[in-house]
Amino acid sequence: MASTAVRISPFLSPPSIVLLFLTFLASFSSSSSPPTEISYAEHCNSIVPESIPTRLLVDSNSFQISHGYFSGGGHLLEPDSSSGRSRPKSIQFRRDHLHQTQIPGIIQVRGTLILRGGNTHIQANYTDSIDGSLVHYNYTVRKEASFDLSGFWSKSSGKLCMVGRGFPQHAAGGSSLDLSAVLKLNYPEKSDIKSSWVNGTVESLDATNSPNHFSSIQVLAYAQKKYGYTMISQANESCSHHKFEEELVEFDSNSYCHRLWRLESQSFRLDYGSDCSSPNCGPFGTSHDFFMSLNLIQCTEDGRFHFYIGFSNSSEHPYNRLFVPEKSLVGEGFWHPSGNRLCVMACRILNIQGDYLATASVDDCTIGFRLWFPEVLSIKSTSSVVGHMWSNKNENDTSYFSKVSFFSFGDNFGLSPGSKYRYTKLDTVRNLCVVNDVAKLEKRKYPGGRSFRDMKFGFYTTNSNGKNAWGQATPISLGETHYQNADPSGYVTPISVDETYYGDFDSFVAKPARTLVKKEQTHWDVSYRMSYTFSGSTMDENVQTEISSEGIYNAKTGMLCMVGCQYPSYSFSEKQGKGANNSMDCEILINIQLPPLNPETGELFSGTIKSTREKSDPLFFDPVEVSAYAFVTTGETVRRMDIEIIMAVISLTLSCIFIRMQFYHLKKHFPSISITMLVVLTLGHMIPLMLNFRAMFYKNHDPQNIQYRSGGWLEADEVIVRAMTMVAFLLLLRLLQAAWSSRSAEEGRKGLWVAEKRALMLCLALYLAGGLIAWFVHTRLYEIKWWRSEHSVRLQHSLWKDLISYCGLILDGFLLPQIILNIFWNSKDKALNPFFYVGTTILRAVPHLYDAYRANHFVPHLKWSYFYASHDRDLYSTGWNIIIPCQGVLFAFLIYLQQRFGGDCILPKRFRKSGEYETVLSP
């Protein structure tokens, strides 16, 4: 009679490995002793008494500061001498938790205080993706100090006192400091327009001679708290003195706050008028800023609101959102439902004495505002939002100023749906435009002119000084159809000449524009908004140029000829020196030759933007050349996307075939397959379905630089691809269920479950370690704040995207759990069909090989158009495109060896035969 004996593996078990790993982490974290706790009672008890917290409070509006200003701090946040002009200082408080305490009216507050100050200068180079030239850039990394604070707030006194520790980023000298501080704020429970600011101090708790010590910091910030309106009647009276002579868009009362909140993302350009020669032609005397923003808008259901108004010389959002007391106003007002306008009364911030902010107060509430949404747009007024501000004081008063106009700046069509466009310069266009060689051009096929999506494009500009810039051209109207009244797909619907078409696609459209489109129309009246920015050495030199234009597009020749209008882009002082006024310049001619849909090698999207004025005119500017690299490859990119869709369908089809072959193969080998491996594969197909569920029905591609075919075939193919992914997922789910059931039915294979658990624990430990490494790399490489030149352009990299890419890496190594299971079980079972593990390995490796080819043969900056081998789903780079295929080949080879010679054949000899069964003969 024969019996069997099992040999136990002599090497370290997976639980032991995990325990060792956790012990290492614990010892590492304990190597540095925690800092001494700061006593709240010692520093704050005299202001707000300490109390024991009882229960958590949920209040989303209390103790939040997102726009603040500070002064002081000494060396902590001072700019380097070589960093050039620094951005305004800012302060932010993020509340984490609120707790009621045993003392009524005392609230425990925990949160993070962030101070951002001076800049550190950095020089950097990069290779231009357009012409391959080396471009030099100056960057500034902004200094920052962050404090984790805890303390208490008194409802009766409105005082907040908190203590905690913090650390600076990019501190002077590059040293690492451990800071301790106390925050003392005046934060009343309720406020009105004159008490809408909170002030206080941040003081260092370190000794004066300590390197961690910093000088006292004064804080001033706009409060986000309960508010009482006191200036509504004054705003109504001031606004009633100004009459309207134009048609205005009407809004439903339920949409007031929604539209006001959207104004926070908008910049407004100021127009001081042609007669602005005196010092007092603006709210700040001799300071004439070009741009304005509405910040921290807080609105009630009945249409009342309050906010603060910031002024700056930069049109880019991150800069004019910063609060600067001497360039800000505080306002409150209401939406006038019958007049369809916003009426506001604003106040100045006074009594700021240098860096001393404690005496700051809100007073002199004599500035009126009105803001409205025009229904009819034209080349001289393409803004969705316009308005005026004025002084209610006597003209002899020193703080009086003339009426200042302002209008929304940038692509803001969504702010005013229902608008219509009125053409006024078409006769001028017909006189200025030159007819090209029509016979030659008509042999090619150009964008048809019916789609806003097709007619929107990005471009690359070069001026006479050799400076380069990226630009954007967005159509405002095609024919009589305004952007907001077009079909949601972006198309102007063709109808017969004796029919009319009424568009009512947007639920927010108040009065849809009437559209009449002829079938086979080739000449289109068009209007555009074009914008570009040439980078300068200072913030003021980076003012964006925006041109509103209208003209004619010939769909047979691809010629776009327009007349443009723009405001001068140079600063106010330079403008006065040139003798120019602030009026709009409409003597601009724009000629652009769009490329055909099937471009030949060397064909360029090209054009010019030039002034028709004499060179001696103050408003004359040198011609600006326009081109677009993306359009050169339009046809090529569409063909590439066609190929990628086919590759994706083929890949998923083969994947389904391989899974089905594995299912038939495992009828004799079910128990030996790794459950963990099947779970990894199943989740790898399920997660994309979850992330793209909405895309099963609609996917909004970025249409900026690509001409899509009509009919929506791309979206249809995407649905097919996702349906195939669903089929593969269901097959894997069935395979997982069958494998689980089969193993559960094998009563004599309990040892296999033990091996599976060990393999699972070891895999989880490896995945966790890899996740920690990915997180560490993310925090070290991407959580850095960069500012281009003097601007605060933060390069943010999403941790979520990094995690998704890491999940793709786990899926690339899908054979790892099976390899580990084979080692623990020492099985020679042919658990995996060669077509399955070799074929799936090839399917995971091919995208990386294709990406390496694609990077060298297609436009690298069109990553948004990648359909196959998308960079959002896996790790793609020169290194990873080599490592991952090699890893796949290695894992497949190891599986082959294990299924032929045994699971432990890949181990050193001393560890082999860890699960081998021996036959023992009985006497």
Neighbours of 277 (CB within 10 A): 10
Please give the pLDDT value at position 520.
58
Which tens digit of pLDDT belongs to each residue from 274-323?
A: 666 666 778 887 667 788 889 889 988 888 999 999 988 776 654 446 78
Q: Are 681 and 814 in contact (CB under 8 A)?
A: yes
Q: Which of residues 187, 205, 226 is at a domain's end?
A: 226
Q: Does the residue 23 lie in any domain?
A: no
Q: Is the pLDDT of residue 346 over 80?
A: yes
Residues 334 and 446 in one domain: no
Of 27, 127, 6, 2, give the one whose Cα is nearest residue 824. 6
Q: Tell me the β-bridge partners of 342.
A: 335, 371
The identity of residue 293, as a single letter, is: S
Residues 518 and 580 in one domain: yes
Q: Does the residue 194 lie in any domain?
A: yes
Please give the pLDDT value at position 918.
40
Q: Is the pLDDT of residue 159 over 90?
A: yes
Q: Are 145 and 179 in contact (CB under 8 A)?
A: yes
Residues 379 and 481 in one domain: no
Q: What angle is formed at CA 343 by the lines to CA 342 and CA 349, rounded to 5 degrees?
A: 120
323 alpha carbon, distance to own chain's centre: 22
Q: Is the pLDDT of residue 468 over 50?
A: yes
At how many degrees (to 10) do helices 816-825 and 675-691 cross?
160
Neighbours of 588 (CB within 10 A): 22
Please give the pLDDT value at position 593.
86
Residues 491 and 513 in one domain: yes
Q: pLDDT class for 865, splitting at 50, 70, 90?
A: low
Q: Is the pLDDT of residue 632 over 70?
A: no
Neighbours of 427 (CB within 10 A): 10
Q: Which of residues 579, 597, 632 is at a domain's end?
A: 632
Q: Is 622 helix (H, G, I), strand (E, B) or coil?
A: coil
Of 877, 858, 871, 867, give the one whose Cα is nearest residue 629. 858
302 vs 10, 230, 257, 299, 337, CA distance in Å? 76, 15, 9, 8, 10
Q: Does the residue 162 lie in any domain?
A: yes
Alpha-carbon radius of gyration of the chain: 34
Q: Are 833 and 665 in contact (CB under 8 A)?
A: yes
Residues 138 and 177 in one domain: yes
Q: Does the residue 242 lie in any domain?
A: yes
Residues 619 and 646 in one domain: no
More confident residue, 292 or 15: 292
Which tens digit of pLDDT belongs to each residue from 820-862?
A: 998 888 877 888 999 999 999 999 999 999 888 887 766 554 5
- HSE-up (13 A, CA, CB side) for residue 846: 15
- HSE-up (13 A, CA, CB side) for residue 789: 12
Beta-sheet pairing, 624-628 with 787-788 = unpaired
Q: Tell me the β-bridge partners of 326.
A: none
Which tens digit of pLDDT belongs to each residue from 369-398?
A: 999 888 888 898 888 888 999 999 988 888
Residues 815 and 765 in one domain: yes
Structure tokens that stand for 814 in this block: 């899908």
Q: Which of residues 415, 433, 455 is at a domain's end?
A: 415
Which tens digit of pLDDT belongs to each residue from 568-580?
A: 765 444 444 444 4
Residues 628 and 652 in one domain: no
Beta-sheet pairing, 2-6 with 917-921 = antiparallel
Residues 250 and 375 in one domain: yes
Coarse DSSP helix, strand, coil percentages of the chain, rounded to the nearest 5 percent: 30, 30, 40
At how many degrees (to 10) do helices 750-781 and 14-29 cross?
30
Query: 906-914 long-range contacts, Cβ below 8 Å, gap at least 24?
Result: 906/819, 906/823, 907/823, 910/10, 911/9, 911/10, 911/11, 913/7, 913/826, 914/7, 914/8, 914/9, 914/10, 914/11, 914/823, 914/824, 914/826
Q: pLDDT class for 34, splitting at 50, 70, 90?
A: low
Residues 616 and 649 in one domain: no
Which tens digit of pLDDT belongs to each residue from 411-446?
A: 555 556 667 889 999 999 988 887 655 555 556 777
Q: Is the pLDDT of residue 122 over 60?
A: no
Residues 697 and 582 in one domain: no
Question: Quick one: DSSP state of residue 374?
Answer: B
Residues of the domain holding 194: 40-226
pTM, two decimals, is: 0.62
Q: Does the residue 538 lie in any domain?
A: yes
Q: Does the residue 3 lie in any domain?
A: no
Q: Does the residue 420 lie in any domain?
A: no
Distance, CA of 595 to CA of 572 (rounded, Å): 39
Q: Does the residue 407 lie in any domain?
A: yes
Of 278, 273, 277, 271, give the one whose Cα is nearest residue 292. 271
Please give the pLDDT value at position 738.
86
Q: Are 611 and 587 in contact (CB under 8 A)?
A: yes
Distance, CA of 666 to CA of 648 (rounded, Å): 27
Please give the pLDDT value at position 121.
57
Structure tokens that stand for 327 in this block: 């360039």
Distance, CA of 68 to CA of 323 (rounded, Å): 6
Please give the pLDDT value at position 613.
93
Structure tokens that stand for 697 in this block: 């029905």
Q: Tell me the β-bridge partners of 334.
A: 304, 343
| Count of domains for the chain | 4
Q: Tell me the β-bridge partners of 112.
A: 94, 148
Q: Is 130 helix (H, G, I), strand (E, B) or coil?
A: coil
Residues 408 and 466 in one domain: no
Most confident of 115-129, 344-358, 401-415, 903-917: 344-358
Q: Is the pLDDT of residue 779 over 90?
A: no
The domain that contains 563 carries what CATH number? 2.40.128
Q: Is the pLDDT of residue 602 over 90?
A: no
